[in-house]
Amino acid sequence: MRPYFQNMAPIGKPLTEKQKEANKENARQIKEVEKEIEAAIEEVKNAGLPLEVLKKRGQMSVWERIDYLVDPGTWCPLHTLYNPRSNEEGTTGVVDGLAKINGKWAVVIGFDNKVLAGAWIAGQAENQLRVTDIAKRLRVPLVWLVNCSGVKLTEQQEVYPDRRGNGTTFFRHAELEKLGIPILAGIYGTNPAGGGYQAISPTLLIAHKDANMAVGGGGIVSGMSPKGSFDEEGAEQIIEATRHFKQVPPGSVPIHYNETGFFKEVYETETGVLDALKKYMDMMPAYDPAFFRVDEPKEPKYPGEDLNYIVAFNQKRSYNFDEVLARIFDNSEHMEFRPGYGPEVYTGLAKIDGFLLGFIGNRQGFLGKDYPEYAPYPGIGGKLYRQGLIKMNEFVTLCGRDRVPIVWFQDTTGIDVGDLAEKAELLGLGQSLIYSIEQTDVPMMCVVLRKGTAAAHYIMGGPTANNHNAFTLGTPTTEIYVMHGETAAVATFARRLVKEKEAGRPLQPIIDKMNKLAQEYYEKSRPLYCARRGFVDEIVSFPNLRKYIAAFAGCVYQNPKSICPHNHMMIPRIIKG
Amino acid sequence: MAVGEVTAPMGGKVIDIKVKPGDTVNEGDEVVIIEAMKMELPIVANESGTVKEVKCNVGDAVEADAVLLVLE
């Protein structure tokens, strides 16, 4: 199949200085958003104790542990700003991402030991479940840096119970193990109760000399108050008992290395634990990348920095999506699937780091005369019409057949509406695409390049495709909402305006409400909000997008659960005709 | 479309004209912005040349195929 995959058709053109000059303000606006994101990330990194306190205790921070563990330049952080319950810590208390360890991809997650000694805090369970889901979808090892003090007792109701509470992670670990996906854990510090299960549920434990893990902590020096409440006398008894409490925390190295053997290895130094994890990563199942590559890896012909001048910050402004792809694909080359059909959608094959991936995305701008073919009005990119929906269904289904992982790019205002659109079966074709995705069973990732709107955000491989979407990235231009705020304000208040008008009452109070709603839509769809709420798994700068897509490609081809031989693939032949 | 003419691909409202007579443009340069279907569509020169005449004004409602400017 070499003739198909090497020397594909070129895509894109270099940006001229004039074009860059004309879009200088665009690039500046994008950089402004990046600064806002960077400031928020800095706050997360500074959450909890100052780093100097850990240093005095002789501990490394979770960031330092990860930095030591992963191969330089491979760290792709995820969920950095995620804080779905807006907790007071300003973080979920775990740090995670994709990275290579000794040349092999893994999902890495560690407790932030600066934040309440790695306690379970509100929103953390959701973060952990996203991470186990990513390991499951990408079929790469999950590497834990456990340092967990257990439940934040003053907020136990936020973390301990519930269907998707912190305990759910232990079942997810068991599920990964059932699927043959190993979980390696290095453990540090005191890990009682929930922390104990965080430590024991992985496949293999490597301990630091001072680590311990236990069913319950040693800090419970008294039980419930016999009086049913606390008073001064009770408080004095607690003080006395606490002063005399010198017990070593249960489950330390003498127990779990010498007696139970749960700790497979114990190391004197923190870095010793990390070196051991690297050693065990060498034993993890992984194909040599050359086995699946269809060509030598090549950088795109045009710089990723150009994307800041190409993707329009003004959400109403169209741009050339093919020029975006030209700055993502290896050597800026591709094979487009059905280029003349459904012009609002790009579908095609391209290489990332030498691996073959399927790409689907919204083209922008005017779509040509007589399109959509079922309506007298002109079609405009970002909307989805009949042909585009049929084409995506075909391409997704064929990617399933050829076992080609898919990358979705969303910049969509939704599916065409109205009776003509209904007659053209768009409602059914949208759900058909969901069906096609669910039946296809290949790993997918999504980039919300700009707008993720209405049902199109669901059907185009968005985060709601739980079983297939490994993760979703946002960008500095991302906006996610059911509809534009102004549209929502009209939909909500139009009849009320008529009523007030007919009653002869002033319209200003309703107009104020409309403006307030539109503003709320804007504020709650911005990149920072999307990242904090988890609408996306990370906000990534445009030049960094290719790095994340390359990480996705490396992960999915590391140990795939099923394979289509290159010489049995149909998409390249269908494209060639 | 005659040689040298830049036309509107669809009906809409002219919201920005980025060139004036005498300006040099290259193929692919944005010359006019039209608003249609709630979107702003950049109209680009499909060849290089000098702007001979601008045949629209900001605020004009133009039909599909209307000549927006002429290049020479």
The tens digit of pLDDT for each residue in A441-454 reads 999 999 999 999 99
The minimal CB distance from B9 to the residues A18, A19, A366 is found for A366
The separation between CA A97 and the C-alpha centre of its own chain, rounded to angstroms, equals 9
Tell me whether B30 touches chain A (CB under 8 Å). yes
| Model-level ipTM above the cut of 0.85 | no
Tell me whether B26 touches chain A (CB under 8 Å). yes
Residue from B23, B30, B39, B44 to probe the interface with A (highest A Cβ count within 10 Å): B39
Average pLDDT rounded to a whole number, residues A405-413:
97
Kindly report the number of other CB atoms within 10 A of residue B15's CB atom.
16
Residue A237 has pLDDT above 70, yes or no: yes
Tell me whether B36 touches chain A (CB under 8 Å). yes
**In chain A, which residue's Cα lies nearest the Cα of B28?**
A19
pLDDT-derived band at A216 (thresholds 50, 70, 90) equals: confident
pLDDT-derived band at B2 (thresholds 50, 70, 90) equals: low
- pLDDT score at A180: 97
Q: What residues contact residue B34 under an 8 Å CB cut-off, 6+ apart?
A: B8, B10, B12, B13, B14, B15, B40, B41, B43, B62
Helices (H), A49-123: 51-56, 62-69
Residue entry with tokens 């879009």? A23
The tens digit of pLDDT for each residue in A504-557 reads 999 999 999 999 999 999 999 999 999 999 999 999 999 999 999 999 999 999
For chain A, the distance separating the N- and C-terminal CA atoms, rounded to the nearest angstrom, is: 14
- pLDDT score at A11: 98
Q: What residues contact residue B14 under an 8 Å CB cut-off, 6+ apart?
A: B32, B33, B34, B56, B57, B58, B59, B60, B61, B62, B68
Catalytic residue ranges of A? 151, 194, 415, 455
The tens digit of pLDDT for each residue in A138-193 reads 999 999 999 999 999 999 999 999 999 999 999 999 999 999 999 999 999 999 98
- pLDDT score at A235: 86
Chain A residues touching B9 at Cβ < 8 A: 366, 368-369
Cβ(A100)–Cβ(A71) under 8 Å?
A: yes
- Between CA A191 and CA A217 the distance in angstroms is 8
- Between CA A61 and CA A47 the distance in angstroms is 12
Min Cα separation A365/chain B (Å)? 6
Residue from A13, A17, A310, A366 to probe the interface with B (highest B Cβ count within 10 Å): A366
DSSP assignment string, A440-484: H---EEEEEEEEEEHHHHHHTT-TT-TTTEEEEEE-TT-EEESS-
Does B29 contact A378 at a Cβ distance shorter than 8 Å?
no
Min Cα separation A381/chain B (Å)? 9
Residue B1 has pLDDT above 60, yes or no: no
**In chain B, which residue's Cα lies nearest the Cα of A484?**
B38
- pLDDT score at A246: 67
The tens digit of pLDDT for each residue in B40-66 reads 889 999 899 999 999 999 999 999 899
Q: Which two tokens stand for residue A340?
A: 């003349």
Residue A14 has pLDDT above 90, yes or no: yes
Tell me whether A365 touches chain B (CB under 8 Å). yes
Min Cα separation A382/chain B (Å)? 10
- pLDDT score at A91: 97
Residue A463 has pLDDT above 90, yes or no: yes
Cβ(A216)–Cβ(A236) under 8 Å?
A: no
Does A369 contact B29 at a Cβ distance shorter than 8 Å?
no
Which of the two residues, A248 and A434, has the higher pLDDT score?
A434
Residue entry with tokens 């990235």? A473
- Between CA A129 and CA A120 the distance in angstroms is 13
Chain A residues touching B26 at Cβ < 8 A: 16, 18
pLDDT-derived band at A247 (thresholds 50, 70, 90) equals: confident
- pLDDT score at A279: 98
**In chain B, which residue's Cα lies nearest the Cα of A365?**
B41
* φ, ψ dihedrals at A159, nearest 5°: -125, -35
- pLDDT score at A233: 86
Residue A314 has pLDDT above 90, yes or no: yes
pLDDT-derived band at A220 (thresholds 50, 70, 90) equals: low
Does B10 contact A378 at a Cβ distance shorter than 8 Å?
yes
Residue A244 has pLDDT above 80, yes or no: no
Average pLDDT rounded to a whole number, residues A300-322:
96
- pLDDT score at A223: 64
Tell me whether A317 touches chain B (CB under 8 Å). yes
Strand extents, DSSP E, A353-413? 355-362, 383-384, 406-412
**In chain A, which residue's Cα lies nearest the Cα of B25?**
A18
The tens digit of pLDDT for each residue in A283-305 reads 999 999 999 999 999 999 999 99
Tell me whether A20 touches chain B (CB under 8 Å). no
- Between CA A492 and CA A513 the distance in angstroms is 10
- pLDDT score at A511: 97
The minimal CB distance from A22 to the residues B30, B36, B37 is found for B30
Cβ(A152)–Cβ(A570) under 8 Å?
A: no
Chain B residues touching A316 at Cβ < 8 A: 35, 38-40
Does B64 contact A369 at a Cβ distance shorter than 8 Å?
yes
> Reduced to 3 states, what is the DSSP secondary structure of residue A99?
strand
Residue from A26, A316, A370 to probe the interface with B (highest B Cβ count within 10 Å): A316
Residue A406 has pLDDT above 60, yes or no: yes
Tell me whether B54 touches chain A (CB under 8 Å). no
Average pLDDT rounded to a whole number, residues A189-210:
94
Residue B9 has pLDDT above 90, yes or no: no
Tell me whether B65 touches chain A (CB under 8 Å). no
Tell me whether B20 touches chain A (CB under 8 Å). no
Which of the two residues, A370 and A304, has the higher pLDDT score?
A304
Min Cα separation A83/chain B (Å)? 34
Chain B residues touching A369 at Cβ < 8 A: 9, 64
- pLDDT score at A242: 80
pLDDT-derived band at A222 (thresholds 50, 70, 90) equals: low
The minimal CB distance from A316 to the residues B28, B40, B64 is found for B40
pTM above 0.90, yes or no: yes
Which value, to the nearest 10 degrees, does the dihedral of the CA atoms of residues A558, A564, A565, A566 take? -90
The minimal CB distance from A380 to the residues B29, B39, B42 is found for B39
**In chain A, which residue's Cα lies nearest the Cα of B40?**
A317
> Reduced to 3 states, what is the DSSP secondary structure of residue A407?
strand
Does B18 contact A13 at a Cβ distance shorter than 8 Å?
no
Min Cα separation B26/chain A (Å)? 9
